[in-house]
Chain A
Amino acid sequence: QQQVKQSPQSLIVQKGGISIINCAYENTAFDYFPWYQQFPGKGPALLIAIRPDVSEKKEGRFTISFNKSAKQFSLHIMDSQPGDSATYFCAARAAGFNKFYFGSGTKLNVKP
């Protein structure tokens, strides 16, 4: 059973639009929630991360919204660009360990 559920599986957005990817979890022992970006043929790279004591974190055009009571977090990409076309993974870490659980991934296609 997947510890982190991610949706949608794929997403098409027009250039300049907002891309939104959602993740949900059950394990309240998770204490760190990163988002990774992966381009074809490459390894994932950290995009932005949040801890559960913060409800929102913004870095440039990328924002994580975190809802601790609902056990959900989401990635918002503002002013989406064709260069943002990639696969995005959410993840969560179990507190006290270095074990990360990943979502199933969202393939984003930003159309020019």
Chain B
Amino acid sequence: NAGVTQTPKFQVLKTGQSMTLQCAQDMNHEYMSWYRQDPGMGLRLIHYSVGAGITDQGEVPNGYNVSRSTTEDFPLRLLSAAPSQTSVYFCASSYGGSLLEQYFGPGTRLTVT
């Protein structure tokens, strides 16, 4: 059981470039979420999904897109990177229903110059 995996671990982008952060889980979890972590701000929800084909916005969705075509994968797309998107990104998953424990991946540290 690999749990929640994220790739890449580190990434440097130039302003205006696009990229996709990958997230996969092998626990058959229905719920998956993307967070960004910034100093002094805690974790803020970007987008989340309650199942394949269903996504919704979180607190800070602007500049990011998601899709969920399978239960296992939940990629996060940066459409046109900006320095304000420099952050550590975490993917999390949970069973849903009454089982609310979220399992977090190891994170992707993104720098936009």
- Which residue of chain A lies nearest to B40 when distances are taken between CB atoms in the complex? A104
Asked whether, in the complex, the Cβ of B48 is within 8 Å of the Cβ of A98, the reply is yes
Interface-centre pick from B44, B48, B100, B105 (highest chain A CB count, 10 A): B100
Whether the Cβ atoms of B100 and A44 lie closer than 8 Å is no
- Report if A42 contacts B (CB, 8 A): yes
The range of chain B's interface size is 20 to 34
Main secondary structure of the interface of B (DSSP, over half): strand
Contact B43–A44 (Cβ < 8 Å): yes
Using CB atoms, name the residue of chain B closest to A31. B100
Question: Contacts of B96 on A, CB cut-off 8 Å?
Answer: 98
Contact B101 A49 (CB under 8 A): yes
CA distance A96 to B92 in the complex (A): 18
Given A98-B50, A99-B45, A104-B40, does the pair A43, B100 have CB atoms closer than 8 Å?
no
